[in-house]
Amino acid sequence: MTGRPRSAEADEAIVGATLGLLCEEGFDRLSMDAVAQRAGVGKATIYRRWPSKEALVIDAVARRTDPFAGEVPGETARDRLLAVLEAMVATARSEVGRLLPCMVGATVTNPPLARHYRERILEPRRARIAEILRDGVEAGELRPGVDVATAVDQVVGPLLYRIVFGDDVPDGHCAVLVDSLLAGLAP
């Protein structure tokens, strides 16, 4: 006997409650009791899906901050990189995106949260950008032998700095970052 299937409505209520409480209270003050109460579910329902507060929070943030379910749109490495960076800015400007700076801060003192943040948010997004760069090398848009990990840092780092420290990201800034990177990686 396999038991009752999970409810998508309960999942959505839990994720919504988690994000709402994060916005209101921050990570440290968020409790599973408060999430359960707001979502209208029992704590056992939450713990069947997520083994810890850290896992729940990161899953909720990851679900709402990644607009790409599949392929990143665009014909060239430039188009695709620009789409990813512009999506990062749009996410940062959203209610959930405004949580990212405090989430980064919370990872400093919470190793399990840091691990989940790396695994569910940072690494998949870095891998996506690395894939775009490797595709650009393969298509001849970028020179062979590109240090992909460093190139990812070079294009994402300045944008994340602005996002985390609350600096404005002016219109066109993503294109400047992408074009600067690609000029240095041209064949």
| Residue 76, domain CATH | 1.10.357.10
Q: How many domains does the chain have?
A: 2
- Predicted local distance difference test score (pLDDT) of residue 2: 52
User: Quick one: 56 and 87 in the same domain?
Assistant: no
Please name the residue ranges forming H helices in the chain. 8-25, 32-39, 43-49, 53-65, 77-93, 100-109, 111-117, 123-138, 148-164, 173-185
Mean per-residue pLDDT, 146-160: 95
User: Quick one: 105 and 58 in the same domain?
Assistant: no
- Rounded Cα distance between 183 and 186, Å, is 5
Indicate the pTM of the whole model: 0.84
Mean per-residue pLDDT, 68-79: 88
**Tens of pLDDT, residues 5-49:** 678 899 999 999 999 999 888 888 999 999 999 999 999 999 999
User: Quick one: 57 and 111 in the same domain?
Assistant: no
User: Quick one: 30 and 14 in the same domain?
Assistant: yes
Position 4 confidence tier, pLDDT thresholds 50, 70, 90: low
- Rounded Cα distance between 152 and 115, Å, is 20
